[in-house]
Amino acid sequence: MIGSLYLTPFNAAAVLIVVAAVLGYVNFRFLRLPSSIGLTVMGALASLLVVALDEILPSSSVSRDLAGFIARIDFHATLMDGMLSFLLFAGALHVSWQQLQKGRWAILVLSTVGVVLSTAIVGTGFLFLTKTMGYTIPAIWCFVFGALISPTDPVSVMSVLKRTSVSSLLEATVAGESLFNDGVGVVIFAILLATATSGAPLDLGHAALLFVEEAGGGILLGLVIGGIAYRAMRSIDDYKVEVLISLATVMGGYAIASPLHVSGPVAMAVAGLIIGNAGVAHAMSDTTRDYLHKFWDLIDDILNTVLFLLIGLEVVTVPRDAGLILLGAGAIVLSLLARSLSVILPLSAFGKARAAGAIVPVTLIWGGLRGGISVALALGLPHGSERDLILAATYAVVLFTVIVQGGTIAGILQRMERSTHTSPGAKA
């Protein structure tokens, strides 16, 4: 039985890689769904089948064994203290600094003001929603949910962008926002969670100071470690050592971020931008550049595969309550509303964004997927009634965004582009 398996880190990794390989083969061979969607769907279906089996056969303990296996993996620690650093760095490597600069103000506003605005909207709406449904949850916990569900997941977003043909500027804006709003969201979440668990009232001045320290410190750390890595790579020409330097940058930089009380995710995004732009352009030979990209593309693909499989399998840990399904449906509507307002209102100040047409807000809103980061933060909450409500709502939103939004965004953008090109006012 899985639950009785002696779960060393190697055993856990072995089980996940084997299952991911089998399901990945099935998806590629038969379903032909995008990898992130296919693995999430199959993982979720496997979890639901296990739950259904236990309902049909009361003597069955498969669901309990699977839940025990998932719990021993500790999804929160696995992602937040391990996988996230690699995924953010790998994603940032492919973001163009030139395009990022062109959209810098939109990225800055969306990843800061947008996240704060979304947190406030979701928190207020979730408080009203839970009270309407008869659930009792303190207001501060509703805003904790708002903070963990507001950032778009760069892993999910970038997997979607690979299947679209949006402009390089829009792609960089979406990718840049998702990279940085992740770090901002984690900082806001940590501040609100500390307030919720301590029982003390929220001190906005103190919270703002912590935010500046965490986010600003993360940017500074990323600049320092990225700059050191760049100079080291520029002084040698050996692809094996240079790839190793990039790996040391990620692991060493993320490891020291926590003791320094700065944002590790923000630091990884900044370091990745430096290596992926200045490093690739000025510090590497063609051979090193090729090996570096292939190495991090492989790391990115493997970790993405395991991550989306875990998201699907984690469904088995959600409390079984019909009321929570309705709560999750309400949370989906609420998150879409909050995302829409937190994109449209900030972008209303940018004439260039409006001039680009409807494709900009549609890409940012419908392409604003939530993923493993939201799930990891929810799973890391202390056990209690608040955690059950937040976890159920988080899973509903994440599964909807990955499967429904992720599965349709490419087609929607393609239809919008065709409509633009064939409209009477379009240029031939």
**201: which DSSP letter?**
P
pLDDT of residue 424: 57
Q: Which one-letter amino acid corresponds to residue 229?
A: A
Q: Using alpha carbons, select from 148, 93, 103 the residue that is nearest to residue 270.
A: 93
CB 310 within 8 A of CB 71: no
pTM of the predicted model, to two decimals? 0.87
Angstrom distance (rounded) from CA 286 to CA 275: 14
Unique residue bearing structure tokens 């969670």:
193
Angstrom distance (rounded) from CA 69 to CA 4: 9
Tokens standing for residue 102: 């062109």
pLDDT tens-place values along the chain, 428 residues long: 444 445 677 887 888 899 889 999 999 999 888 888 888 889 888 888 877 877 787 777 777 777 777 777 778 888 888 788 998 999 899 888 888 888 888 888 999 999 999 999 999 999 999 999 999 999 999 999 999 999 998 777 776 677 777 778 888 888 888 888 988 898 899 999 999 998 888 888 888 898 889 999 999 999 999 999 999 999 999 999 999 999 999 999 999 998 999 999 999 999 999 999 999 999 999 999 999 999 999 998 888 888 888 888 888 877 778 899 999 999 999 999 999 999 998 888 766 555 556 788 888 999 899 988 899 899 889 988 899 999 999 999 999 999 999 889 888 888 887 776 665 555 43
pLDDT, tens digit, 9 for 90 and up, residues 384-411: 889 999 999 999 999 999 999 988 988 8
pLDDT, tens digit, 9 for 90 and up, residues 341-379: 999 988 887 665 555 567 888 889 998 999 888 998 998
Neighbour tally for 98: CB within 10 Å: 10
pLDDT, tens digit, 9 for 90 and up, residues 277-318: 999 999 999 999 999 999 999 998 888 888 888 888 888 877
CB 109 within 8 A of CB 343: no
CB 19 within 8 A of CB 381: no
Contacts 24+ apart (CB under 8 A), 399-402: 399/40, 399/44, 399/311, 399/315, 400/332, 401/156, 401/335, 401/368, 401/369, 401/370, 401/371, 402/36, 402/37, 402/40, 402/156, 402/308, 402/311, 402/369, 402/370, 402/371
pLDDT of residue 165: 73
